[in-house]
Amino acid sequence: MAEPTDARTLSQCPYCGVGCGLEMLPPAVAGQSVRRDAEGTPMWTARGSRSHPSSLGQVCIKGATVGETLSRGRLSQPLYRSSLEEDFQPIPWEAAFDLLVDRLRTILDTRGAGAIAMYGSGQFHTEDYYLAQKLFKGALGTNNFDANSRLCMSSAVAGYTRSLGSDGPPCCYEDLDHCSVAFLIGTNTADCHPVLFQRLLKRKKRQPRSVTIVVVDPRATDTSKAADLHLAIAPGTDLALLHGIAHLVLRQGGFDSDFIEEATDDFAAYGQLVAEWTPERVAGVCGIPEKQLRAVARLWGSQKGILSLWSMGVNQRREGTAVVGGLINLHLLTGEIGRPGAGPFSLTGQPNAMGGREAGGLAHLLPGYRLVANGEHRAVVEQAWGFAPGSIAPEPGLTAWQQVEAIEAGALDLWWVAATNPLVSLPNLERVKAAMARCPLVVLSEAYAATETAHYAHLLLPASQWSEKAGAMTNSERRVTYCPAFRPRHGQSRPDWEVFAELGRRLGFTEQFRYGSSAEVYAEFAALTAGRVCDVSGLSHALLQREGPQQWPFPSGSQPSSASRRLYGDLCFPTPSGRARFVAEQPLGLAEPACEAYPLVLTVGRYLGQWHTMTRTAKAERLQAMHPEPLLEIHPQDAQRFGIDDGDLASITSRRSRITAKVQVTDRIRPGSVFLPMHWGFSQELACEANALMHEQACPISGQPELKATAVCVAPAAAVHRPREQPLGSDPASHAGDATRSSGHRSSRDDQGGPSRATC
C-alpha cells in the first residue's frame, strides 16, 4: 500500500446504476490515525460527494462501506490448471498471454472464430467494454461478446429501440422532483436504487400531496410501504395491467390526441388490442380489485407529469420487451414524454451497464448504439478501427445463454468470463456447471479469489478493479463520471482494458491496440459516437476531470453544465418517420406458471445491503450484519398449507433442482408466491443457489431470461443439510495471500433425492 496522502478523490460509486458521486478519503488524513479494514490493511473511506449532480452528497450503506471491501480476499496473480481436477498453479503474466495467444491461434485455424466467446459485465469501465468489442468483433472476427446486461437491461434496450427508435433512457433524476405521479413497476427502488428512492421519499414527506406514488409489485417491499397505491398483481401479469389502464384511459377520454396524431405511428392496432382488455378481465387476470385498476387509470388519464420507473420485475420476463413496450405505449397515449417530470425511465442495475450499451457491449451491438446487422454501421466501425472491410461478421453473436448452449454442444473451445460470476447469476445452474466442466478452456478475469465461477475455470487472470484503474462510467440518467485510479493495483492485477490491448498486440494487431493510457481508449471511443443518439464526442477524461460529470448527448463543442437534460423534448424520435411507435402485443403471462405439482411461483431478487454474488459485500461486516442469511419468504396461508413454520428449513423444488433455505413466514408476499434472494452462491457458508431452480426461457426479442419467476413446490426439509462435494481441484483462494478462504465447494442442493420428476 502506498504512503498515506492527503489527497481526496472524487469518483462514481461502483455499485448500482444510480451512480452516486463518492468522495474517497485516504487512509490517513492530516492529523488522524490510519484507518484499516478488518484485516488491518489501510483503507480509504467513502462519503457522498456534494458536487456530483446526480446524488447531491447522498450515499447509501453500500457506497459508504465500499472502502472496506477493496483489499480483502483478492486474486493476486494469474493461476492456471490444465484440467478442473488439478490444483491451480501460479503462472507469470507472460505465460498466461503465451497460452492465450497459442490457444486462440489454434482455434482460429481449426474451428474458426465462432468457437471463441466472451461473457462480460456492466461492471466493466467503458474503456474495458470498448476494447473487448474491438478485440472480439474486430480483431478476432466474432460477435460472440455478450454481457450480464443480457440478464438485466436487454429488454429495456430492445423496448426503447422498438418504440422510440433508439436505446437511451430519456429522463433525468430531476424528474423525481417534478412528477405528479411516480409509477414504480417491477422495481424495489428502496432497496436497489436507495438514493433515488430517498429523493422521492423526502419530497413526499415534505409535500405529501405534490406526488402520488404507485407501486406495482407482487410483494410488499420497503418501496410499496411508501406508496399511495400498491397493486400487488399476480406475477407476470404486468402487460395485462398496462393494457387495462390504456383501455380505461381511452374509454374515459384521458388521452392526448394531438400528441398521438403528430408524434406517433401505429395507434390503430393498439387501440383495437386494448379494447379487449376490459376492467373485469384485467382485474381477474392480475388478481387485484377492479377499483385499484380504475384508480390508477384515473391518474394516468388526468395527471400531467407521469414518471414511470422500472427495473427487473419488468425486464426479466419472457415477454420483457413487450412489457416495456406496453409501458411506453401509455406514455405515448398520454403524451407524457420529453417534458420535466414525465417519461419512461428504466433504472439501470449496474454502475456502467449504460456505458456498456454505448460501447456496443451486447452480441448484436457495435459502439455508438450501432447494430451488427447493419452494413453501414459495420463499415463505419471497421474503418475507425483500422480493420479491412468485412472484418466484422454480419450476424449477431451468441447471447449469454446461447453461449452456454454452444459449450454444451461442443461448439465453443474457449469461454472467457470477465467481471461477472455466472455460476451464481445465470439460470439453470446445474446445466451451466455441466457445460463449463466440458469446455476445453475457461478463462476468468476476476478481482476476487474463489468466486463460484473460479471453481470451474482453468485460467484465472487477476483484475485491477474500480479505484485501481482510471476509466469512465455512465449512470442511469446518462451522466458520465470519470473514475480515477487512486489506490495502487492489487498484487499483479491488471486493468481489463490493458489485458485486452496487450492480447490484441500479441495477436499481431500492434497499430490497432497501441494505447498509452485509458484516456486514449476513451478518446477513440468518444469520437466513434459522433452524430449518434449517445453522442459523447465532446467528452474526454481531461474534460470530465476538469468540469465534473456530464450528461450526454455531449457532441464535440458542447459546453459543460451540471443542468439536467432530457431526450425528445422536440418530440422528434430517431425512427425513419421521426415518430414514436405504438406496439400491440397480447400478454402471454409466465413461461412456467404454477401448476398442481409445482403450486407456487418463486421470484428471486435483492437485499438492500448485499450486492449480487457478494464478492464485495460479504467483506463488509456492517452489511453482513444486516443480512446474515438468505430467507425464503412465504405467506402464512401457504406455510400452513405446506406444513412449514417460521424458522424451519424448507426444501424448494423446481423442475430443475432442489435446494434448502430457512423460512420466513410473512404476509409481505402474496399467497401463491415465494421469494428468495439471489446472493448466496455455493461458495458461501450458507449457500442458497436460487438460480439452480430457475429456467432459462427468454424473451424472443431481447433474449433476456425470465429470472423473476419459476414454478416450485416447498416442503419441510430433512433437518440435516449436507454439503455436496464437487470434484474440482484446489481452491483458488489458497493462492491469494490476503484472501479469505472460501467455504469449499458447497452446494445448497438437497441431495436427498434430486428434483421431483412431476410434470403438469
Ligand X SMILES: Nc1nc2c(c(=O)[nH]1)N[C@H]1C(S)=C(S)[C@@H](COP(=O)(O)OP(=O)(O)OC[C@H]3O[C@@H](n4cnc5c(=O)[nH]c(N)nc54)[C@H](O)[C@@H]3O)O[C@H]1N2
Angstrom distance (rounded) from CA 147 to CA 171: 24
Does 15 contact ligand SF4 by CB under 6 A?
Answer: yes
Q: How far is the CB of 344 from ligand SF4 (least distance, A)?
A: 21
Per CB under 5 A, 18 contacts Mo ion: no
Q: How far apart (Å, rounded) are the C-alpha atoms in residues 88 and 212?
A: 56
Residue 143's identity, in one-letter code, is N
Helix (H, G, I), strand (E, B) or coil at 388: coil
Q: Strand 365-366 vs strand 370-371: parallel, antiparallel, or unpaired?
A: antiparallel
Question: Look-up: residue for cell 437485499?
Answer: 607
Distance CA 17, CA 193 (A): 7
Within positions 404 to 443, which residues make up the interface with Mo ion, using CB under 5 A? none
Q: Quick one: cell of 31? A: 492529523
**Residue written as cell 454452444?**
406
Q: Does 460 bind ligand SF4 (CB under 6 A)?
A: no
* 3-state DSSP assignment of residue 461: strand
CB of 689 vs ligand X, minimal distance in Å: 10
Sign, CA dihedral 502-504-510-516, equals negative
Q: Which residue, chain included where needed, has cell 411508501?
A: 226
Could you write out the DSSP letters of every residue in 238-272?
HHHHHHHHHHHHHHTT-S-HHHHHHHEE-HHHHHH
Instruction: State which of positions 151-210 bind Mo ion (CB under 5 A).
Output: 152
- Edge to edge, the sheet with strand 471-474 lists 471-474, 479-483, 550-551
18 near ligand SF4, rule: CB under 6 A = yes
Is residue 60 involved in binding ligand SF4 (CB under 6 A)? yes
Residues of span 355-384 touching ligand SF4 by CB under 6 A: none
Smallest separation, CB 123 to ligand X (Å): 5
- Provide the minimum distance between the beta carbon of 37 and ligand SF4 in the complex, in angstroms, as a whole number: 18
Say how many C-beta atoms besides its own lie within 10 A of residue 206's C-beta: 8
Residue 60 or 728: which CB sits closer to ligand SF4? 60
Region of 2-10, 56-64, 371-379, 722-730 interacting with ligand SF4 (CB under 6 A): 56-64
CB 509, CB 331: distance < 8 Å: no
Q: Which is nearer to ligand X, 166 or 315 (CB)?
A: 315
Q: What is the CA radius of gyration of the chain?
A: 25
**Residue 698: alpha-carbon gap to chain centroid:** 16
Report the alpha-carbon distance of residue 684 to residue 630 in Å, rounded. 11
Q: Does 107 bind ligand SF4 (CB under 6 A)?
A: no
217 binds, among Mo ion, ligand SF4, ligand X, none (CB under 5 to 8 A by kind): ligand X
DSSP code per residue over 538-588: T--HHHHHHH--EESP--TTPPP--S---S-TT---SSTTSSEE-------
Look at residue 602 and give the partner it binds from ligand SF4, Mo ion, ligand X, none, a contact being a CB closer than 5 to 8 Å depending on partner kind.
none
Q: How far is the CB of 672 from ligand X (least distance, A)?
A: 12
Compute the least distance from the CB of residue 702 to ligand SF4, in Å: 24
Residue 349 interacts with Mo ion (CB under 5 A)? yes
Q: How far is the CB of 402 from ligand SF4 (least distance, A)?
A: 31
Q: Quick one: cell of 359?
A: 460501447
- Near Mo ion in 126-155, by CB under 5 A: 152
Q: Does 63 bind ligand SF4 (CB under 6 A)?
A: yes
Q: Which stretch binds ligand X (CB under 6 A): 289-297, 335-343, 611-619, 624-632?
A: 611-619
Amino acid at 521: V
Q: In the window 217-246, what residues touch ligand X (CB under 6 A)? A: 217-219, 221, 235-236, 238
439: cell is 469446455
Which of 273, 447, 713, 728: binder of ligand X (CB under 6 A)?
Answer: 447
DSSP code at position 698: B
| Residue 730, C-alpha cell as written in the block | 484446489
605 binds, among Mo ion, ligand SF4, ligand X, none (CB under 5 to 8 A by kind): ligand X
Q: One symbol per residue from 157 to 196: x for binding ligand SF4 (CB under 6 A), - otherwise; what is it?
A: ------------------------------------xxx-
Nearer to ligand SF4 by Cβ, of 201 and 439: the residue is 201
Task: Pick the binder of ligand SF4 from 52, 62, 74, 199 (CB under 6 A).
Answer: 62
Applying CB under 6 A, which of residues 9, 10, 11, 20 lies at the interface with ligand SF4? Answer: 20
Cβ(302)–Cβ(215) below 8 Å: no
By CB under 6 A, name the binding residues for ligand X.
16, 121, 123, 148, 151-152, 185-188, 191-192, 216-219, 221, 235-236, 238, 311-313, 316, 349-350, 418-422, 424-425, 445-448, 451, 463, 465-466, 496, 603-606, 608, 610-613, 615, 678, 690-691, 694, 707-708
Q: Footprint of ligand SF4 on this chain (CB under 6 A)? A: 13, 15-16, 18-20, 55, 59-60, 62-63, 193-195
